Amino acid sequence: MGSSSSKTVAPSLFLENPWRQINNGENPTDQHFVENYKPEVEEQNLRILLHGPVGAGKSSFINSVNSVLQKRVCCKALVANSCDCFTKKYTTYRIKKGNAFYPFVLNDMMGLKNTTSRRNRRIHVKDVKQALKGHIKDGYVFNPENKLSKGDRYYNRTPTENDKVHVLVCVVDTNTASLMSDATVEAIQDVRDEANGLEIPQVAIFTKIDEAFPEIKHDVTNVYRSECLQKRIEEFSKRVGIPINFIFPVKNYHSERELNPDMDAIIINAMRHIIDIGNDSLNRKLRSQT
Ligand SMILES: Nc1nc2c(ncn2[C@@H]2O[C@H](COP(=O)(O)OP(=O)(O)OP(=O)(O)O)[C@@H](O)[C@H]2O)c(=O)[nH]1
Ligand SMILES: [Mg+2]
């Protein structure tokens, strides 16, 4: 009996009506949208940059999207198994589609450290700014002590539209979202200011919803019925300034070996919105160039 009582979730945690609807596996609209997405211009890629605090689940989100689209659990981007900053290299991930690739790419970068050093945070923000403008070449290893310099061999002097970022995704650990220091929030806001200046839209992904809330760990389809998660997203939205309808909670593939259609539905729904929002900005840019 012990195991069944440990799975019991207090009904008061649930909202009667979910605050957002997604197609839990039955209706493959989101999957269809992502699988058939094509930018208006041939040869153009939609570039999605992931940033956010160290260990938030940036690399795991890339693996999760890859897993859903490859229909098997994959681990293309290496993931941390400790709390230390794991990803250090600027890397573009392309996802295989038959013999070609999907026309969107995901960029992984070094996480934002929870540091008291203003200088380190400023360097991080400056590096993100360079990435947004397409000035960072793949393979660049971030140096927390120095920003990328114009003389560096990884500095791209002449970025094309394909090198530039079209949507910026701030990845946040749901467990610690409300415990973020003012300094971290300030750095995220600085990055947002840069992106706003470049007219790059921003969304946020809330990861580890399974760890944060037992009602979601018990059943991931409770994601939009969890009042606690809704409140945490609202708090973050107010603090950082990203609107609630641009924030998407996900549970990443991290320890699973088999796909789970309920997790897939949440991941692909987030990805659909990221592409949709990024595509609007890409189209605006392309039209302004003609
Ligand atoms: N339970 C749970 N664990 C997760 C989830 N997403 C990521 N993790 C775990 O969180 C840890 C950090 O994940 P990463 O994907 O490496 O995070 P990151 O943001 O890329 O980290 P850095 O590269 O260090 O900045 C890993 O141990 C993951 O397995 C999730 O949705 N649920
Ligand atoms: Mg990483």
Q: Work out which ligand 1 atom sits closest to the CA atom of 78.
A: 16
Q: Give me the helices (H) in 90-206, please.
A: 118-132, 182-197
Ligand 2 centroid to Cα of residue 235, in Å, is: 25
CATH number for the domain including 266?
3.40.50.300
Express each pLDDT in 8-19 by its tens digit: 555 557 888 999
Residue 25 located in a structural domain: no
Token digits of residue 271: 């990805």
Which pLDDT tens digit goes with each residue over 153-175?
A: 999 999 999 999 999 999 999 99
DSSP SS3 for 140:
coil
For residue 179, CA distances in Å to 33, 79, 114 come to: 35, 23, 11
Residue 174 is assigned to a structural domain of this protein: yes
Ligand 2 center from residue 71 Cα (angstroms):
22
The pLDDT tens digits of the residues spanning 218-243 come to: 999 999 999 999 999 999 999 999 99
Query: For residue 111, is it within any domain?
Result: yes
Instruction: Retrieve residue 137's tokens.
Output: 């070449």
Segments forming the whole domain that contains residue 48: 43-289
Q: Give the residue among 56, 74, 54, 55 at the shortest CA–CA distance from 64.
A: 74
C-alpha distances in Å from residue 238, one per residue of 36, 56, 192, 222, 223: 34, 20, 14, 23, 20
Q: Is residue 17 part of a domain?
A: no
Residue 73 placed within a domain: yes
Residue 76 Cβ < 6 Å to ligand 1: no
User: Which atom of ligand 1 approaches the CA of 250 most closely?
Assistant: 31
pLDDT of residue 55 exceeding 70: yes
Q: Is 67 in the pocket of ligand 1 (CB under 6 A)?
A: no
Residue 289 CA to ligand 2 center (angstroms) comes to 34
Are the CB atoms for 44 and 282 separated by under 8 Å? yes
Of the chain, the percentage scoring pLDDT greater than 90 comes to 81
**Mean pLDDT value across the chain:** 91
| Ligand 1 atom 23: residue of nearest CA | 87
CB of 208 closer than 6 angstroms to any ligand 1 atom: yes
- Residue 79 CA: nearest ligand 1 atom is 16
Ligand 1 pocket: which of 87, 254, 256 to mutate (most atoms within 8 A of CB):
254
pLDDT confidence band for 22 (50 / 70 / 90): confident
Q: Is residue 8 one of the residues assigned to a domain?
A: no
For position 1, what pLDDT does the model report? 34
pLDDT category at 115 given cuts 50, 70, 90 is confident
Q: How many domains does the chain fold into?
A: 1
- Amino acid residing at 17: N
Closest-lying ligand 1 atom to the alpha carbon of residue 82:
27
DSSP state of 246: G
Percent of the chain whose pLDDT exceeds 70: 93
Position 119 in a domain: yes
Would 18 be classed as within a structural domain? Answer: no
pLDDT of residue 27: 56
